[in-house]
Chains A and B, each alone.
Chain A
Amino acid sequence: MTGFVARRLLYILIALWVISLIVFSITQILPGNVAIMILGEHKEPEILRALETKLGLNDPAQVQYMRWFGGVLRGDFGSSIVMDRPVLPLLWERLQRSAGVAIVSLLLTAFIGIVLGVVAAVRDNRFADHFVSVVSFLGISVPEFFWGIVLILLVAGHFELLPTSGYVELAKDPVGWMKHMVLPVATLTFTLMAHVSRLTRSSMLDVLRTQYVRAARARGLPERSVLYKHALRNALLPTITVLAISFGWLMGGIVVVEAVFAIPGLGGLFVFAIQQRDIPLIQGSIILIAASFALANLAADLLYTYLDPRIRYAPA
């Protein structure tokens, strides 16, 4: 098993490095460069060239990359051009805001999605199954930005229960923070949970049709034990993979949800960075997103390894 973990770690490090290469290459192709952005559009060419040289923009690409990547490894992501602040602290501050929504959504998704999926599989073709089917179908068919808007309309427009935009610091005002979280989390969770429940249901159905579940029934074991002790653990293995993939989707969803609910988080920052072509900010955001995704995947892999005895105790 240590071999498995070692390989995964190695692979993740390499993947992060490749992503840094990709992101760097893309930002090299971006029209305009840092110097133009600092000075504005209409400056004399000589001043522009001088600044470019000073900033090292005329050096070959490899050198620029090494400089940037070296900085990243040291923790220096450069400075945002538009906002004129160091990138990393900026990212970190925004990340903390997004993390709240993300973590709560992910936990709710995992819980609700798995429960619904299992219930639907166990009560296959009965009412509960059809109900879950319909609900999850809605969840995967409606874009989350539309959900967000609908929720805003309903909640704020008619009932005026919850705030529909903005953000409040958790430390300063826990209740306010929670109130502001409800709608964004609901929007994200609904769609994610739909995917997870469908896949859990499918995986559970597969397991319920296996020979070993049949054999367990043939031993006269109570149905409860067959479902939860024998079937569920094996059915959850693919679900863990799905949750890891959902993490990636979650980050995409955060971008949209923060736009809809005007939350000043990482997603909003990324959109802003792209709109403004703020290169250091773009690079930093991508690295951060990739790193979080990689960590989530690693956690999923470790969990998978722990749960599946076939990997943990490979045949001697």
Chain B
Amino acid sequence: MGSDAQPVLEVEGLSIDYRTEAGTIRAVDGVTLALRRGEVLGLVGESGSGKSTIASAVIRLLAANATVASGRILLAGENLLEKSEVELREIRGNRLAIVFQNPLTSLTPSLRVGEQIAEIVRVHKQASREAAFACAIELLARVGLPDPATRARSYPHQLSGGMQQRAMIACALACDPDVLIMDEPTTALDVTTEANILDLVAELKQRVNAGILYITHDLGVVARVCDRLAVLYASQVVEQGSVEELFYAPKHPYTIGLLASVPRPTPARTGKKLAAIPGRIPTLGSTPTSCAFGPRCPFACNGCEERVQTLQAIDASRQTRCERHAALTGVAWPAPVSDAAVMPTTTEMRVVQAEDLTLIYRADGWLAGVRLARGGPLGLRLARDDAGVLAVDGVSVALCKGETLGLVGESGSGKSTLGRMLVKLLDPTRGRVLVESNDIAQFTGAALRACRKSFQIVFQNPESSLNPRHLIADILARPLLVHRLATAETVAQRVCDLLRIVQLPIEYAERYPHQLSGGEKQRVGIARAIATEPRFIVCDEPVTALDVSVRASILNLLTDLQARLGLTYLFIAHDLSVVRQVADRVAVMYLGRICESGLVDDVFAPPHHPYTRALLSAIPVPDPRIARSARRLRLPDPSGAPTTWSGCNFYDRCPVRINGVCDRRPPTLRTPKAGHSIYCHHDLAALQAQEAPARELARTEAA
């Protein structure tokens, strides 16, 4: 659908302040955007960029302590900021709709899904109950929900995440809006489900006559669905233009840095390190007094970081907030410094081994699972379900010294559970974890202490991995004292050493966790893990909860430490690109079982197992040409129902399943070469004959 000349949504010079305990904070500073019908405008930013605030401002549902300091928001020429509440209620849901990030918390739990959609139609179009409900079912079908009539009568909690988000999109489309705002709609979803929703958004762009404002922090998503893009950094727009222009010829150091530091599924593998953006996202103050990106910019010169930067137009639709943009054409971000002298070496020595590990979560309570059933003397009797969730099912892995084993999977795959079993935070229901042929479950006393010392874990969420009531110095001192690696006199010095190793200033020892940024807290978490001089560290999604611009530097830190200290890593992630970057070997998990494992290049290029193929093709690649041209392997959304068959876990979603075989027997082990295992009923020839995804073709072209 072609774009109209007149933008349907215009934001002009919007500035929004928040009143907080720390004073007035300018969350949005002079932002100007234009959205046309039939076009998808991406709004990219990290935390503190103000992107969600802009969305809240457009629908006029800002928090109580927020005020619009200046600017206008025009919907087809009318200023929304001047409208009364009554007028706004007519516009919301009708001409202007929004889809929020977390669908489960955005749908009213006590109302049926169809009713929530029908209500919108009734209110805005004065339709009858029957007509509105019929309309709701039709909308659910339009957004690709299977069996829409049944789903319309379901409650939100009965649907899976992907289905809930489709229902939310149906709500938004109910009255055929002029503007559709999507606020990180796929952030809370698994990558395969996300890919389906992105396909839906791309379809909608064709069929619906609305302008779509798509807010995200993920460059891959932007490359997939957006036409134009505005990059936000610390409350300001730093660059704006078409997606091709920004991805292939960026003109602001931040954009250049982001594109350079984002891991890609087909990296040019020169060592494991990524180009990283140093420093951290600035704390917002009242108004910017210098270049917001200055402290982190490697291209700053002539004092340009001291000066306030303004938005400069390069041509009709292209803007950037950097006075040196002309000099930046074609300039690459500084390459990562690889310490060639210290290369990680992998040996044959096994550090830890998991043998047929199984973990079943049982519901709590001795009365759990009790229910009424038919039969017995009174016609009713008490029966008991032997319910349990099979989180990890017969997994065997081994890790050799110095290597990084990547563990990849979506939610429910059991990867975190497996990681925790390896460091003895969870006890397996069956199976063993072996260290030098000794079962760690039998360890007590000195052996247990040694185990605790040499196996450590880095957690995912920096907000909750550090005790908020402890000083950083105490947090780092504890492991040293517990394992007698330092005495009360020497511990202060050791803490400073640790801080230096993770590149944090020594003054941080006297601070509390809330005074550190997310990336800094994660560095403390890493310092705490290496404090006991371990041999093996489980990194449980260490960068997932961090801002994009900070991830690369943390990944580089982990790689450095591995080389310097001879560590072995189990690197758990759901992001295949990250795993591809840092891991030597990889294991792909699905619903508690491993489907494929082997060297990274063997598993990913080309992928064999149908799930690995689907995962790889689902990753949003931060490259518009590839993202749009790739032939995608579509998986149906998970239904959320537990498995009721006894064969391969992947049976219900597998595009190449064999009825009668895949649901009856567990998959067979195939070994194309030593160390590469695939669990599938199809034989090797069939697996290898599958089409190579377009992505791989692109890589061979580029290489």
The yes or no answer to B105 lying at the interface (CB within 8 A) is yes
- Of the four ranges (under 10, 10 to 19, 20 to 34, 35 or more), the interface on chain B belongs to 35 or more
- Mask, B85-106, CB within 8 Å of A = 1, is 0001111111001101010011
* Pick from B90, B100, B110, B370: contact of A309, CB under 8 Å: B110
The yes or no answer to B157 lying at the interface (CB within 8 A) is yes
Report yes or no: A212 in contact with B109, Cβ–Cβ below 8 A. yes
Q: Which of B105-143 contact A (CB under 8 A)?
A: 105-111, 119-120, 123-124
Report yes or no: A5 in contact with B157, Cβ–Cβ below 8 A. no
- Closest residue of chain A to B98 (Cβ to Cβ) is A218
State A212–B104 Cα separation when bound (angstroms): 8
Q: B185 CB to closest chain A CB, in angstroms? A: 12
The yes or no answer to A313 lying at the interface (CB within 8 A) is yes
Report yes or no: A220 in contact with B370, Cβ–Cβ below 8 A. no
The yes or no answer to B641 lying at the interface (CB within 8 A) is yes
State A315–B89 Cα separation when bound (angstroms): 34
Report yes or no: B120 in contact with A214, Cβ–Cβ below 8 A. no
The yes or no answer to B158 lying at the interface (CB within 8 A) is yes
* Pick from B92, B100, B158, B367: contact of A11, CB under 8 Å: B367
Q: A16 CB to closest chain B CB, in angstroms? A: 16
Report yes or no: B367 in contact with A313, Cβ–Cβ below 8 A. no
State A214–B120 Cα separation when bound (angstroms): 14
Chain A neighbourhood of B641, CB < 8 A: 316
The yes or no answer to B508 lying at the interface (CB within 8 A) is no
Report yes or no: A220 in contact with B90, Cβ–Cβ below 8 A. yes
The yes or no answer to B61 lying at the interface (CB within 8 A) is yes
The yes or no answer to A54 lying at the interface (CB within 8 A) is no
The yes or no answer to B5 lying at the interface (CB within 8 A) is no
The yes or no answer to A2 lying at the interface (CB within 8 A) is yes
- Closest residue of chain B to A215 (Cβ to Cβ) is B106
Q: B166 CB to closest chain A CB, in angstroms? A: 15
* Pick from A3, A216, A220, A221: contact of B372, CB under 8 Å: A3
Chain A neighbourhood of B367, CB < 8 A: 7, 10-11
The yes or no answer to A230 lying at the interface (CB within 8 A) is yes
* Pick from B91, B93, B154, B385: contact of A221, CB under 8 Å: B93
Chain A neighbourhood of B91, CB < 8 A: 220
Chain A neighbourhood of B110, CB < 8 A: 230, 233-234, 307-309
- Closest residue of chain A to B155 (Cβ to Cβ) is A309
Chain A neighbourhood of B119, CB < 8 A: 219, 221, 225, 229
- Closest residue of chain B to A212 (Cβ to Cβ) is B108
Chain B neighbourhood of A7, CB < 8 A: 367, 370-371
- Mask, A198-222, CB within 8 Å of B = 1, is 0000000000001111111111111
Chain B neighbourhood of A219, CB < 8 A: 92-93, 97, 119-120, 123, 171
The yes or no answer to B666 lying at the interface (CB within 8 A) is no
State A223–B382 Cα separation when bound (angstroms): 46
- Among A7, A216, A218, the most chain B Cβ lie within 10 Å of the Cβ of A218
A315 with B157: in contact, given A215-B100, A218-B59, A221-B93 (CB under 8 Å)? yes
Chain B neighbourhood of A309, CB < 8 A: 109-110, 155, 157
The yes or no answer to A6 lying at the interface (CB within 8 A) is yes
* Pick from A214, A218, A310: contact of B109, CB under 8 Å: A310
- Mask, A174-196, CB within 8 Å of B = 1, is 00000000000000000000000
Q: B497 CB to closest chain A CB, in angstroms? A: 45
The yes or no answer to B369 lying at the interface (CB within 8 A) is yes
The yes or no answer to B640 lying at the interface (CB within 8 A) is yes
Report yes or no: B105 in contact with A218, Cβ–Cβ below 8 A. no
State A214–B52 Cα separation when bound (angstroms): 14
- Mask, B150-161, CB within 8 Å of A = 1, is 000011011000
A310 with B155: in contact, given A2-B372, A6-B382 (CB under 8 Å)? yes
Report yes or no: A313 in contact with B155, Cβ–Cβ below 8 A. yes
Chain B neighbourhood of A310, CB < 8 A: 109, 155, 157
Chain A neighbourhood of B123, CB < 8 A: 219-222, 225
Q: A241 CB to closest chain B CB, in angstroms? A: 16
- Closest residue of chain A to B175 (Cβ to Cβ) is A220
Chain A neighbourhood of B154, CB < 8 A: 313
Report yes or no: B158 in contact with A315, Cβ–Cβ below 8 A. yes
Q: B369 CB to closest chain A CB, in angstroms? A: 7
State A174–B155 Cα separation when bound (angstroms): 48
Q: Which of A291-316 contact B (CB under 8 A)?
A: 307-310, 313, 315-316
Chain B neighbourhood of A3, CB < 8 A: 369-372, 385
Q: A146 CB to closest chain B CB, in angstroms? A: 40
Report yes or no: A6 in contact with B372, Cβ–Cβ below 8 A. yes
Chain B neighbourhood of A225, CB < 8 A: 119, 123
A222 with B382: in contact, given A215-B106, A310-B155, A316-B641 (CB under 8 Å)? no
Q: A11 CB to closest chain B CB, in angstroms? A: 7
Report yes or no: B120 in contact with A221, Cβ–Cβ below 8 A. yes
Q: A9 CB to closest chain B CB, in angstroms? A: 9
Report yes or no: A211 in contact with B372, Cβ–Cβ below 8 A. no
* Pick from B88, B168, B372: contact of A5, CB under 8 Å: B372
Chain A neighbourhood of B61, CB < 8 A: 214, 217-218
State A229–B109 Cα separation when bound (angstroms): 11
A234 with B108: in contact, given A218-B61, A219-B97, A225-B119 (CB under 8 Å)? yes
Q: A196 CB to closest chain B CB, in angstroms? A: 21
Report yes or no: B92 in contact with A217, Cβ–Cβ below 8 A. yes
Q: Which of A24-73 contact B (CB under 8 A)?
A: none
A220 with B106: in contact, given A3-B370, A6-B371 (CB under 8 Å)? no
Q: B124 CB to closest chain A CB, in angstroms? A: 6
- Closest residue of chain A to B94 (Cβ to Cβ) is A220
Chain B neighbourhood of A216, CB < 8 A: 108
Chain B neighbourhood of A6, CB < 8 A: 370-372, 382
- Mask, A136-151, CB within 8 Å of B = 1, is 0000000000000000
* Pick from A11, A222, A229: contact of B111, CB under 8 Å: A229
Report yes or no: B89 in contact with A220, Cβ–Cβ below 8 A. yes
- Mask, A80-104, CB within 8 Å of B = 1, is 0000000000000000000000000
State A3–B367 Cα separation when bound (angstroms): 10
Q: B210 CB to closest chain A CB, in angstroms? A: 15
State A16–B306 Cα separation when bound (angstroms): 76
Report yes or no: A212 in contact with B92, Cβ–Cβ below 8 A. no
Q: Which of A144-162 contact B (CB under 8 A)?
A: none
- Mask, B355-398, CB within 8 Å of A = 1, is 00000000000010111100000000010010000000000000
* Pick from A212, A213, A222: contact of B89, CB under 8 Å: A222
State A3–B382 Cα separation when bound (angstroms): 9
Can you name 20 A-B residue pairings with CB atoms under 8 Å? A2-B372, A3-B370, A3-B371, A210-B105, A212-B107, A213-B108, A215-B100, A218-B61, A219-B120, A219-B171, A220-B88, A220-B92, A220-B93, A221-B93, A221-B119, A229-B119, A308-B110, A309-B110, A313-B155, A315-B158
Top 7 A-B pairs ranked by shortest CB distance?
A: A3-B371, A220-B92, A219-B93, A220-B93, A215-B106, A211-B105, A2-B372
Known: A211-B106, A215-B106, A309-B109. 14 other contacts (CB 8 A): A3-B370, A218-B98, A219-B120, A220-B89, A220-B124, A222-B123, A223-B89, A225-B119, A230-B110, A233-B110, A234-B109, A313-B154, A316-B158, A316-B640
